[in-house]
Amino acid sequence: MNGGHDLGGMHGLGPINPEAEAEEPVFHSEWERRAFGLTLASGVVGKWTIDASRHARERQHPADYLRNSYYENWLAGLEKQLIEWGLVTPDELASGMASAPVDAIRRSGALSPEEVPELLSKGSSSERETDKAPLFAPGDQVRVRNRHTADHTRAPRYVRGRTGVIHLHHRAHVYPDVSSRGTEGIRTGEHLYGVRFESTELWGQGAVGYAIYVDLWEPYLEGAS
Amino acid sequence: MSHSHDHTDPPSDTALRVKALESLLVEKGLVDPNAVDALIDTYEHKVGPRNGAKVVARSWSDPDYKNWLLKDATAAIASLDFTGRQGEHMKAVENTASVHNLVVCTLCSCYPWPVLGLPPAWYKAPPYRSRAVADPRGVLREFGTELPDDVKIRVWDSTAELRYLVLPERPEGTDGWSEKDLAALATRNSMIGVEKAKTLGNATT
């Protein structure tokens, strides 16, 4: 979707003002700690995909997305998902009190502290087997389809319609445009490529020369040779 | 940062909202607060950029390891026991005298957690995400990094589940250094690509 999250090339957002590396804490307040931990723990019991979580954050009003701090966006996404997955009701969220018992299966799916080390150190691969042969190979010229879906996608606006060269074939990975809709979507994958774009192709002839590499799935691309 | 760090401030609306959400999720049995503590503790105290610095120091010391890292970063990094969430598919990109790499996630905040921990606030914020792909030299200048005009810049936008680690150039004058001493030169920012590795002059800053 063309949301407030798709920031590549946007102007007017101000200076970066980085905190000094040696002085920056991992979290800037206690509520950030809890928002982070609650998001990861809820993902286990809710069994939603990473793309569903991204899409929940993206579906805010762009003004809210841009005004919010980072963990405020996580919190907004988490609240949305908890409601949409039926784990809490809007009334419960407003009151902070449970109005109905949770079903036993979901309750038993809560993440325990003992499970945390393995959950984090194992991760979960996004690579998938596929019978489909890749359409492109390194060196091929490709154009990013000029597609504007209102659903989740990982083709940023700034590369749509632009031509680049396949740099690497990463094999097949879970396709965000379907995995954002639910866990069914993570069973299969689409071929994924690293695509190299010249700065002048993306930002015009006046751009200083450099290269931008973007990882793009095969359905985003068409041949441009 | 505009956020206040004054602990005498009353709790913000957001802090109260998070507190209410946690008590609701705990009451419903959906979340164990001890698991939340363990998740936080992992990234606050155990997993951070010192992991990545060990990967970089090993690469600077051992050419075979460096070749492995550039060819199969996931396996080379796993051999040092850095694995898991947000690092399942790693790529290492090498800075040289003629090439400088810079990593960003324009769409969210993708970042290689097992080697760098959680990203700094600026990495996740709109100014960096908007400009890293459109004006990398301007972004680098904001970090005090000036590159000669003939250095080729490569910007990596992490739009998929591949995670990028920049292998900074080994600082001059470090021949014969131990991996431990070398690791102290590999800063978090140098592994994102917004700065170079520390040089001898500022190794203790």
Convert the pLDDT of each residue in B104-142 to its tens digit. 999 999 999 999 999 999 999 999 999 999 999 999 999
Number of H helices, E strands in chain B: 11, 4
Going by the DSSP 8-state scheme, the letter that residue A186 receives in this structure is G
Residues of A in contact with B188 (CB under 8 A): 21
A113-127, A175-189, B19-33, B152-166 — which is least confidently predicted?
A: A175-189
Which A positions 111-140 lie with beta carbon below 8 A of chain B?
111-113, 115-117, 119-127
> What's the CA dihedral at A76, A79, A80, A86 to 10 degrees?
170
pLDDT at B200: 76
Spatial distance between the Cα atoms of B202 and B173, rounded to a whole number of angstroms: 13
- Name the residue facing A123 among B15, B25, B84 (closest C-beta): B84
Tens-place pLDDT, residues A132-184: 999 999 999 999 999 999 999 999 999 999 999 999 999 999 999 999 998 78
Residue B177 has pLDDT above 80, yes or no: yes
Q: Please, which residues have CB within 8 angstroms of residue A178's CB and are 6 or more apart in sequence? A: A184, A185, A188
Of B2, B23, B61, B105, the active-site residue reads: B105
Start-end of CATH 2.30.30.50 domains in chain A: 141-223
ipTM value for the complex:
0.96
Kindly identify which residue of chain A lies nearest to residue B108, measuring between CA atoms: A5
pLDDT at A205: 86
Work out the average pLDDT over A78-106.
Answer: 87
A79 three-state secondary structure: helix
Residue B3 has pLDDT above 50, yes or no: no
Residue B202 has pLDDT above 60, yes or no: no
pLDDT at A109: 86
- 8 Å CB contact of A37 and B42: no
pLDDT at B157: 98
Q: Which residue has the higher pLDDT, B200 or B34?
A: B34
Start-end of CATH 1.10.472.20 domains in chain A: 30-122
Tens-place pLDDT, residues A1-23: 999 999 999 999 999 999 999 99
Cβ atoms within 10 Å, residue B173: 9
Contact by Cβ (8 Å): B36, A37: yes
Q: How confident is the model at residue B4 (pLDDT cuts 50, 70, 90)?
A: very low
| Burial letters B61-98, b for 16+ CB under 10 A, else e | beeebbebbeeebbebbeebebbbbbbbbbbbbebeee
CATH match for A141-223 among 3.30.1060.10, 3.40.190.10, 2.30.30.50, 2.160.10.10: 2.30.30.50
- Inter-CA distances, A18 with A14, A213, B124, B129, Å: 12, 24, 11, 13
**Is B110 labeled as catalytic in the residue annotation?**
yes
**A58 to chain B, minimum CA–CA distance in Å?**
9
Spatial distance between the Cα atoms of B22 and B20, rounded to a whole number of angstroms: 5
Tens-place pLDDT, residues B55-108: 999 999 999 999 999 999 999 999 999 999 999 999 999 999 999 999 999 999
Contact by Cβ (8 Å): A21, B189: yes
Q: How confident is the model at residue A100 (pLDDT cuts 50, 70, 90)?
A: confident
Tens-place pLDDT, residues A23-78: 999 999 999 999 999 999 999 998 899 999 999 999 999 999 999 999 999 999 99
**Is B105 labeled as catalytic in the residue annotation?**
yes
Residues of B in contact with A28 (CB under 8 A): 1, 3, 5, 121
Residues of B in contact with A13 (CB under 8 A): 126-127, 130-131
A78 touches B: beta carbon within 8 Å: yes
Residues of B in contact with A75 (CB under 8 A): 14, 17-18, 21
Q: Domains in chain B, start-ordered, CATH in brackets?
A: 13-45 (no CATH), 48-202 (3.90.330.10)
Interface probe, candidates A53, A59, A201, A215, chain B, greatest B C-beta count within 10 A: A215
Tens-place pLDDT, residues B27-52: 999 999 999 999 999 999 999 999 99
- 8 Å CB contact of A212 and B107: no
Of B12, B108, B130, B178, the active-site residue reads: B108
Interface probe, candidates A26, A112, A201, A217, chain B, greatest B C-beta count within 10 A: A26
User: What is the domain class of A30-122 according to CATH?
Assistant: mainly alpha
Contact by Cβ (8 Å): A146, A183: no
Residues of B in contact with A117 (CB under 8 A): 38, 42
Residue B8 has pLDDT above 80, yes or no: no
- Name the residue facing A38 among B22, B114, B187 (closest C-beta): B22
**A177 to chain B, minimum CA–CA distance in Å?**
11
Q: How confident is the model at residue B164 (pLDDT cuts 50, 70, 90)?
A: very high
pLDDT at A106: 66
